[in-house]
Structure 1
Amino acid sequence: MTDLLRTLDDEPDTPSTVDIRRAIAAARRKRALRRGVLGASAAALTVLASAAGFVITKPSAVVPPAVIATSVPAPSAPASAPRLASCVLSRLPVPGKEPMALVSGGDPTGEWIVGRTYPKSGGYQAVIWHDGTVTAVMLPGDLEESLQDVNPSGTAVGWSYDASGPVPYAYRDGKVTRLAATGSALAVNEAGRIAGDDGKGHPVVWESVGSPPVRLGVPAGTADAQARDIDLDGTVVGSLGLEIPYVWMPDGTHRELPMPEIDGKPAAIAQAFDIRNGWVTGMASTKSLKGSRGTAPVIAVRWNLRTGVTEVVDGLQYPADAVNAYGWQIGTDRKGYAVVLTGDDVVRLPDLASHRQDGTATIASTVSDDGSIIAGQSDDAGGTIQAVTWRCR
C-alpha cells in the first residue's frame, strides 16, 4: 500500500507517503487530469460496509499541551435540521478565462470559497471567490500553491512550496501574509485561529495571523503528528503517525479518538480529517498502511464529540470530503455520484456533463452550515475540471 500511495502523489514531497486523504485526492485529480494512472489506484480502494460501533480507548500519557484560548461558544447540539430536496449546479467564474479550476475549501456561511486554477501557461494559481466574483491570490513560490480554508470574515489560509519546502500563508483584504515558521496552514476558524503543521511532523496552532506557531501537545515518544481542522471553539482534530485519530481540546487536554469497529473488531488505524460543531469525519482501515503491499480496505467514519458515538458511514465510497454543523457529510457514493448525506436522506448532486462511476467526474469539497451552498468541481463536456457550486433547498 505504501508503494501504491507513493506512485499517486503528484504533489511536492511531504514528510509522509501514506496519507490516505492526500493519496485519494491525488489519484482522483490525476485521473481527472487525464495523466493516466497505471495499475492499481487509491481511487479504487475497497470501501467496506459494516455495523457501526465504537471502542473507548484510554488516552496515552501526554506531555504538557498548549492551551488554545477561546472566545466563541463551544459546540452544541444544533436545532432541527432543514430538509433538502434538490440542488442546482452552476459554474464559478475564473480569472483570465483560465481553462481549469477546482475548489479546496469554503467558510460555514457558503459566501467565501477558495481553490486554485490551472493557467494555460502551466502551474497553479490560488484564487478566492466571494459574492460571485473571483480574485487571484498571489502566493510566493513557484512549485505549487493552494488556499485550503477560509472563515466568514474572508481570512483564507494555505501554503506554497519553494526550494526550502512548504511555507504557510494567510490572505485577507488583498494582502498576503507569511505566517511565522515553515509548514502548512490548513484550517482557520471564526476567531481567526489557524491549524496546520510546521513541516517537520509537529501539529501547530497560530493564535492569529501575526502570532508565532504554538506546538500542540502529543504523547511522549510521538515522532509524527498532523493537525487537520479546527472547530469554532478551537478544538483541533488530526492524527498521530497517520494511524491514530486524535483531538486537542480548547482547555489544553488531548486524547485519542475511539477506534471504530469493523466486522466486530477495532480498526487497526484511523485518521480524523474534518470537524464542525463537534462532528468529526475521517477514515479507518483494518490494517496498517506502513509496510503493507496489498490493497488496504478504507472506510468512512464519523465521530460525535458530544455523545462519544463513533460510527462507520455506509453511504460513501471514500471518506467524507466535509461535514457541517448538523453532521451532514458530503462525499462520493458507491456509484461515483457526489452526494449529501443528511442523516435520513441522500441528495445526489448533478454532474456538469458526463458521469463516471469511479467518482472522478464530480467532487464536492465544502458545504455550508445550513446545507444550502455546496462547492466543488465537475468535469465539463470536454473532460476538463471546472469549479462549481450547488444551490440546494
Structure 2
Amino acid sequence: MPSELDLLRSLNDEPRTRSTVDVQRAIADGRRRRVRRGAGYAGAATVTALAVAGASVAGGVFNPAPSQTAATGAPRTTASAPPKAEYTIPGTAGWSAAPATPPTSCTLNRLPVPDNAPMALVTGAAPTGRYIVGRSYPKAGSYQAVVWHNGSVQKVMLPGDEELLQDVNSAGTAVGWSWAGGSEEDTGPVPYVYHDGEVSPLQGVRRGSAYAINDAGAIVGDDTGRAALVWPSATAKPVRLPVPAGTSVATARDIDEDGTTVGTINDERPYVWFPDGTHRELPMPRIDGVQTGSARAFSIRNGWATGVASRLTRGGKGTKADRANNARAVRWNVRTGEVRVFGELQGFPNEVNAQGWQVGTDKQGRAVLVADAEPVVLPALAGGQPTAVSNIATTLSDDGRTVAGQSDDATDTIQAVVWRCR
C-alpha cells in the first residue's frame, strides 16, 4: 500500500529526514484546501500514493506463457528465463483464492477508538478483514498505533515517536515502524513487529521500515530506501533482494502468500521478485497512447499487482510534479505479464484483493470498490459534495465483503471506518 510520504518523497530531491511539522496532519489540511487527490494512506489524510510502472528486463526478458496475449491483443514474445538467484522468498506455494461474487452495496460504521481520541484512520488490514490496523491522534502532535479485531480495539505501544502499523496478517501479527532520535546522521524509522501482545524490533537493520506481512509470517520493507529487504520471519535477519546493476534506491512494498514480492527501484521502476529467486521489472503500459515514463508498484495479492504509472511529458523531460499530475491506476498480472490502466480510478488504487478487485477514488471524488461489474460507491459519514479526500477506502478483504478506511464526520474530522458489503 502506498503512503502520503511516498508522494512527498517523489517530489523532493532532499535526503530522507524527519519533518519538523506534523506531515500527516498538514497533508490532511492541505488536501482539503486543494480539493484534489494527491496520494495515499500512511498519514492523517491518507491512503494511497502516486507512482508509476516500468518495463524492460533485469536479468532477463519478462517471459509470460507464450499462449497468453497482451492487453493490447499483440502476441507475446518469449525468451530464456533469467538465471536463478541464490535465495528464495518464503511463502506458501501454490495458493489461490476461491472466486467470489462482487458486492452490490455497502453500509458504513465507525470503528471504536481508545481514550475517545478525536481523530483516527486505518492503514492496513488482514486478507480476511478480521484484523485492521491504524492509528489514532489522542491530541495535537501525538500518535497512537492501534489494532482492531472483530470490532474491538486495543493500543499497541511502539517505542519512539510517530508510530505507525502498516499491515497485519490473518493471525493478527502486525508490522510497521516508529521514529527514533539520535545524532543527525542516525535519526529515522525503526521497523517493528507486534505479535501476541509483544512489540519487538526487526533484526538486521538499525533504521528502516516494514511495510507488509503475509500469512506465512514473511515481512518486506527496506533500510530507509537503500535496499529492498525480506525478513523470512519475525525473528530472522533480513535478506537483501537483488537488483540490477546501477540501482541506487530500492524498496519492497508488499508480499503475496506464495512469496512473490513487489516494490520499486530508483523511485520510478516497478519491480517483482519471484519465490524461485528470479526477478525483473514489470511491463510498462501506454497511457492515452503515450509511453509511460515512470511507475511504482505498491500492492500484490494472488498474482495481481497494483500501482501507478505516469506518462512522459514535455518530450520525455517532465518534472516529478508533471509525472504526479499525469498518474493513472495500473494493475499487472505478474503471472502472464498483462497490464491494464484503470480509468475508473482517480490517480491510483489503494488496495487489491485476491480477485483482482481494487478500492480507490473515482473521478467524481467518491470512494469506490472496482470489480468486474459496475463500481460500488462507498457511503460517507457526512453528506455533501465529495472532495476525493473526505472519504477514502484503504483496505479490501479477499471476499470483497469488508472494506476499511477513513471518512470525515460532520465536523470535518477524520474518523476510522469500516464498510460491510453484500
Q: TM-score, normalised by structure 1?
A: 0.86
Q: What secondary structure is seen at the aligned counterpart in 1 of 2:309?
A: strand
SS in structure 2 opposite 1:101? strand
Contact 1:31–1:360 (8 Å) recurs in 2: no
Partner of 1:262: 287
**1:282 Cα shift?**
0.3
Q: Which position in structure 2 is the counterpart of 1:178? A: 201
- Quote how far apart the aligned CAs of 1:58 are: 3.4
| One-letter identity of the residue aligned with 1:149 | D
Q: Which runs of 5+ in 2 are unaligned?
A: 1-6, 41-52, 61-81, 182-186
Pairwise CA distance, 1:122: 3.1
Does residue 242 (structure 1) correspond to residue 250 (structure 2)? The answer is no
Q: Taking structure 1 as reference, are residues 63 and 385 closer, same or farther at Cα in structure 2, changes over 3 Å only?
A: farther
SS at match of 2:171: coil
Partner of 2:108: 89
CA shift, 1:162, in A, is: 1.2
Distance 1:64 1:131 in 2: 42
Deviation at 1:98, TM superposition (A): 0.5
Partner of 2:368: 339
Tell me if the contact between 1:194 and 1:230 (Cα under 8 Å) persists in the aligned partners.
yes
**CA distance in 1 between partners of 2:350 and 2:236 (Å):** 29
Query: Following TM superposition, by how much is the alpha carbon of 1:173 offset from its aligned partner in structure 2, in angstroms?
Result: 1.5
User: Of the candidates 87, 92, 111, which is equivalent to residue 130 of structure 2?
Assistant: 111
Within 1, Cα distance between the matches of 2:37 and 2:251?
21
Distance in 1, matches of 2:317 and 2:306, equals 19
Q: How many residue pairs end up in the alignment? A: 369
Distance 1:44 1:188 in 2: 22
* Deviation readout 1:102-145 (Å, 9 max, x if unpaired): 00000000000000000125311100000211111111112x11
Among 87, 90, 93, the alignment partner of 1:67 is 87
Structure 2 counterpart SS, 1:238 = strand
Q: Are 2:159 and 1:159 equivalent residues in the alignment?
A: no
Q: Say if 2:67 is the partner of 1:58.
A: no
Cα gap change, 1:224 to 1:9, in 2 (>3 Å): closer
In structure 1, stretches of 5+ residues that fail to align are: 18-25, 46-53
Provide the residue aligned with 2:167 in structure 1: 149
> What residue number does 1:190 align with?
215
Q: Distance in 2 between matches of 1:16 and 1:231?
A: 30
Is this contact kept in 2: 1:66–1:214, CA < 8 A? no
Pick which of 257-266 and 123-132 moved more. 257-266
Structure 1 pair 316–214 and aligned structure 2 pair: CA distance change class (3 A): same
Identity %: 51
SS in 2 for 1:316: coil
Query: Structure 1 residue aligned with 2:251, among 203, 223, 226?
Result: 226
Check 1:241–1:379 CA distance in 2 against 1; reply closer, same or farther (3 A cut). same
Cα separation, 2, equivalents of 1:282 and 1:65:
26
Q: Aligned to 1:359, which of 388, 403, 422?
A: 388
* C-alpha RMSD of the superposition: 3.1
In 2, are the aligned partners of 1:15 and 1:201 still within 8 Å (CA)?
A: no
The Cα offsets for residues 7-56 of structure 1, whole Å up to 9 and x where unpaired, read as: 9999x973799xxxxxxxx78x6454x357777976299xxxxxxxx997
- Determine whether 1:126 maps to 2:149: no
- Distance apart, 1:57 and its partner CA: 3.0
Q: How far apart in 1 are the matches of 2:306 and 2:321? A: 26
**Aligned residues of 2:332 and 2:338 also touching (Cα < 8 A):** yes
CA displacement at 1:80 relative to structure 2: 3.4
Can you list the C-alpha shifts for 1:137-173, whole angstroms capped at 9, x where unaligned?
Answer: 111112x110000000100000011112110000012
TM-superposition CA deviations, 1:337-391 (whole Å, max 9, x none): 1100011221010001134443111101101100111100000111100000000
Alpha-carbon separation, structure 2, partners of 1:372 and 1:69 = 30
Q: Could you tell me how far apart the structure 2 residues matched to 1:384 and 1:236 are?
A: 35
CA contact (8 A) 2:102 2:400 kept: no
Residue 121 of structure 2, aligned match among 102, 117, 120: 102
